[in-house]
Structure 1
Amino acid sequence: MLPLLTCLSIAACGSDSADSPTPPTPPVEAPELKADICYLIVTTKGDMTLAIDLTNVPVTGQNFKTYADSGFYQETLFHRTISNFMVQGGGLTTGLVSKPGNDPIINEASVGISNSRGTIAMARTNDPNSATSQFFINVLDNPQLDASASNDGYAVFGQVVAGMDIADQISIVATHTTGGRQNVPVDEIVINSLTEISCPVN
């Protein structure tokens, strides 16, 4: 199953396992996001700079780095956009064709970094340990996506450090339902390239 949004969460249409473990409680004080490596993402809507945290969320950060460094994201789409929520991409190509990814990774949402505006997190199915290549950018604060005692959450692994206005523009494009998918941009939004760059100096 592809990681897709349903209702108020970022999950696929599937059943929760009856014997799934209790979600871990996140730490009381979450670490600050690190900018260990940065990427320029060039899209047909404009450019954004992403800072990726390899320190606090090493599995998730390295997973994104592996996809990015291999050129996997080139010519994939931002295929799902919801105004005042998020924009999602990284797993489908033109015509909404699924691009096979690597093995799924463990969910590091329990680290406690919040899904605040501008952060980047992994999309997944109802299985908390199902994320592969798809990611989303929060365009508003979305604490309902954070890990808690009753919620596995969605692992934040980076943030947009330049070009957040582009994410905002992507989030408000005209969308439709097609091929059984909702909130699909009418005009495809393509990731032309995603390349490593020097991180901006604060």
Structure 2
Amino acid sequence: MMKKLIAAVILPFTLSAQATVVEIQTNLGTIEVNLFDNATPETVENFLAYVNNGSYNGSIMHRLEPNFVLQGGGYVYNGSDTLTGIETAPPVVNEPVYSNVRGTIAMAKLSGNPDSATVQWFINLENNSANLDVQNGGFTVFGQVTAGMDIVDTIAAFDIFNFGGSLGQLPLRDYTEEDFNGDPDNNIDPVTPDSTNFIIVENLVITDATVDTASGLNPTPNTLIDNVSEEPFSESTKTGAIPLSALLLSILAFWRRRV
């Protein structure tokens, strides 16, 4: 039986550092990201608020779109049968300055609302500029992976499983179709994923608080922003905040999936 969903508690959003470089420390290795403090200040401040509050610690990479994006920042793994949705602060203004090319990190948001980014973020696995630079006011790129892209590619090679709702493309390691489906003929239930299967962001750590460290990088500018597209890409890839009812349904499907 699914345990009661418990909302994560977010402390007051006060920055303890104006950082530029952070490490996304996963259970598969570390991904270093250089933030664009000067070019996208509102988005960086928003992201660092969650970092400084520890909101991302213990969260999972909950969505993988092969050859497109790897997304995190939505749910924290609290045990063998509990996923907790990260509580969100108010949305941040869109800042579509740079292009969604491979290795950049950007904010997810709601369809049809450019200024709706809150807590969820994604790493571009390929050059997605033709799509994401023009869609929904452009997706805000606020940093660049400077080390550990090999870790991102390792994660991007894992199999994905459909547990429903926002967990419809969940990447898991050391997990098989037999684990997912179980064996109804022999009354064997599916295997519940755990810490050995999830890709977990164990910590996000500030490693350099110098605001202008991005000056040594050459991010690609978004030159397509004037070409606005109304064609949405999947809601769950863009959603920073999910209604509680939808989250409950997706978690219920997660734990009670049957063939």
TM-score tier by shorter-chain length is: 0.7 to 0.9
| 1:17-96 alignment runs, 5 A limit | 37-94=20-77, 95-96=82-83
Q: CA deviation at 1:72?
A: 1.2
Partner SS for 1:130? coil
Matched, 1:101 2:88: yes
Structure with a larger share of its residues in strand: 1
1:84-140 CA distance string (max 9 Å, x none) = 11100012112443111111111111x2x1000100000011122111111000011
Structure 2: distance between partners of 1:161 and 1:108: 21
Mark the CA change 1:201 to 1:46 in structure 2 (over 3 Å): closer, same or farther. farther
Partner SS for 1:97? strand
Residue 203 of structure 2 is aligned with which of 166, 190, 193?
193
Q: CA deviation at 1:58?
A: 0.8
Residue 140 of structure 1 is aligned with which of 123, 126, 134?
126
Structure 2: distance between partners of 1:132 and 1:118: 21
Partner SS for 1:191? strand
Displacement over 6 Å in runs of 4+: 199-202
Percent of residue pairs identical: 38
CA RMSD of aligned residues (A): 1.9
**Structure 1 unmatched runs, 5+:** 1-35
Q: Is the contact made by 2:161 and 2:170 (CA closer than 8 Å) also made in structure 1? A: yes
Q: CA deviation at 1:179?
A: 3.3
Matching residue of 2:160: 175
Q: Is the contact made by 1:79 and 1:96 (CA closer than 8 Å) also made in structure 2? A: no
1:134-176 CA distance string (max 9 Å, x none) = 10000111011003xx741110000100000111111121111
Partner SS for 2:146? strand
